[in-house]
């Protein structure tokens, strides 16, 4: 009877821990998702800034580019900051900066206000509370079996919030005075602040997080030692290539689909927006589904290599004049496979360097993802504006995808052989 009671108590505690684990992921998705959605939706933001301030789109584009540069420069700085401050403090600081930046755009309209609050404050804050830091906060708190779900949900949380929140804001914005949408976003950011306290409480109660903090205090790690370790490792450069290629592919539809759908298929902006929403939805759903099962995969490098190879084959379809239905089906299948890839790179980094160094190293790997996104939008856009053709960008993408797939498969084969040799040596 006692054993039965203990088993029931253990099962109840396990279910309770799983619920709290999923709630922590949900809280982080809302917090990071709001910030990432504002970061990603440059088109919506440009319209709202124009209505509130009356600037030309060219000026707004310059400001948005400066914000992206501030964000990009701050990401590698975060790699160093994680050794000086706890990842949780960095996340909270970044989120507060972002909320203040959004509210500042309402209270201080004008170029000076946009430079201070949008370019500097939001640009810096969105990097400090970005995906790499958020994931390093969440992983020690949750059950290990939910790590894949956390990795997938957090990297796609901006898409999740964008699909729900921004169409609503776009609908009500026409009925509100100019600039009020920034006040609404800021209030939503303030309403999410209690979620930070919930994560803080769970962090204090998590034994593994406490042990990690003690370990960090007992054995401080210098950035120089980490840099020496990773910059002399081929795996680091492979992870950077995979991350850059992934960022290139995930961002490409929002960068070139508008042009290609209008030029080749004659679609309206509304129809293109619908297809982009379906693309984002498939990416999110398949990413979370992959996150559920990815921890059961023995070689995540082999997993990523195979999926990149499949995407490379599907990507060849862009070189042919496909009918609309076939072109959209191909795009949606690619979205599903990219969703399956998305949790793998962060989890491979964590397996390689361990939880203590994860935030420091992954900030650098994640920077490559952001660089890939910027490259596909700006370089692809510049090329299309000059030559009205996407074949050269598509060709470069295809070369990068194929290279990433081949190198990942080679690394996976070597890893499997090494593990087999180690297992054989232990048996001997």
Task: Just give the CATH number of 22-203.
Answer: 1.20.1250.20
Contacts for 274 with CB less than 8 Å, ≥ 6 apart: none
How big is the chain by its Cα radius of gyration, in Å? 22
Would you state the pLDDT for residue 29? 94
Q: What is the mean pLDDT of each run of 10 residues along the chain (428 residues)?
A: 47 73 94 91 80 82 89 93 92 96 92 93 94 93 91 89 82 78 94 94 71 51 85 93 91 64 68 79 91 89 94 83 80 90 92 90 93 79 68 83 94 90 74
CB atoms within 10 A of CB 191: 11
Helices (H), 147-268: 147-155, 157-173, 180-191, 193-205, 207-218, 223-231, 234-264
**C-alpha distances in Å from residue 263, one per residue of 249, 268, 324, 385:** 21, 10, 12, 13
The pLDDT value recorded for residue 5 is 46
Question: Could you tell me the sign of the dihedral formed by the alpha carbons of 231, 152, 351, 220, in that order?
Answer: positive
> Of 287, 304, 300, 299, whose CA–CA distance to 340 is shortest?
287
Homologous superfamily, domain 232-417: MFS general substrate transporter like domains (1.20.1250.20)
Q: Given this model, what pLDDT does residue 258 score? A: 59
CA dihedral 47, 52, 56, 62 (to 10 degrees): -80
Contact 79, 363 (CB under 8 A): yes
3-state SS, residue 41: coil
pLDDT of residue 9: 47
Give CATH 1.20.1250.20 domain extents, the chain.
Answer: 22-203, 232-417
Give the Cα separation of 100 and 91 in Å (integer).
14
Tokens linked to 225: 């030692």
- Helices then strands, each counted (H, E), the chain: 21, 0
Model confidence, pTM: 0.86
């Amino acid at each position: 009877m006692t054993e039965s009671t203990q088993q029931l108590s253990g099962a109840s505690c396990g279910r309770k821990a799983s619920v709290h684990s999923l709630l922590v992921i949900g809280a982080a998705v809302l917090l990071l998702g709001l910030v990432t959605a504002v970061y990603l939706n440059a088109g919506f933001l440009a319209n709202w800034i124009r209505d509130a301030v009356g600037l030309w789109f060219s000026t707004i584009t310059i400001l948005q580019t400066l914000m992206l540069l501030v964000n990009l420069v701050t990401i590698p700085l975060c790699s160093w900051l994680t050794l000086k401050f706890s990842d949780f403090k960095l996340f909270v600081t970044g989120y507060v900066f972002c909320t203040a930046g959004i509210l500042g755009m309402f209270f201080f309209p004008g170029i000076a206000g946009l430079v201070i609050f949008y370019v500097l404050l939001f640009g810096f804050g969105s990097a400090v509370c970005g995906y790499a830091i958020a994931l390093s906060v969440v992983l020690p708190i949750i059950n290990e079996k939910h790590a894949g779900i956390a990795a997938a949900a957090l990297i796609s949380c901006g898409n999740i919030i964008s699909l729900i929140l921004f169409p609503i804001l776009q609908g009500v914005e026409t009925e509100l005075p100019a600039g009020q949408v920034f006040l609404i976003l800021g209030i939503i950011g303030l309403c999410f602040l209690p979620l930070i306290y919930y994560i803080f409480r769970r962090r204090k109660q998590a034994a593994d997080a406490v042990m990690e903090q003690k370990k960090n205090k007992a054995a401080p790690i210098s950035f120089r030692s980490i840099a020496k370790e990773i910059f002399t490792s081929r795996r680091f450069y492979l992870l950077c290539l995979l991350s850059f290629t992934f960022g290139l592919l995930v961002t490409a539809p929002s960068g070139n689909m508008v042009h290609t759908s209008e030029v080749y298929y004659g679609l309206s902006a509304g129809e293109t927006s619908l297809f982009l929403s379906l693309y984002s939805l498939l990416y999110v759903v398949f990413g979370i589904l992959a996150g559920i099962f990815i921890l059961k995969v023995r070689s995540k490098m082999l997993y990523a290599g195979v999926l990149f190879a499949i995407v490379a084959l599907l990507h060849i379809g862009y070189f042919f004049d496909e009918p609309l239905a076939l072109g959209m089906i191909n795009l949606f299948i690619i979205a599903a496979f990219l969703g399956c890839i998305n949790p793998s790179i962060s989890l491979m980094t964590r397996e390689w360097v361990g939880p203590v160094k994860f935030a420091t190293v992954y900030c650098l790997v994640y920077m490559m993802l952001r660089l890939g996104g910027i490259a596909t939008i700006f370089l692809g856009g510049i090329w299309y504006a000059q030559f009205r053709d996407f074949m050269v960008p598509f060709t470069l993408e295809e070369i990068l995808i194929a290279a990433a797939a081949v190198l990942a498969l080679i690394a996976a084969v070597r890893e499997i052989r090494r593990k087999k040799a180690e297992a054989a040596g232990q048996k001997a």
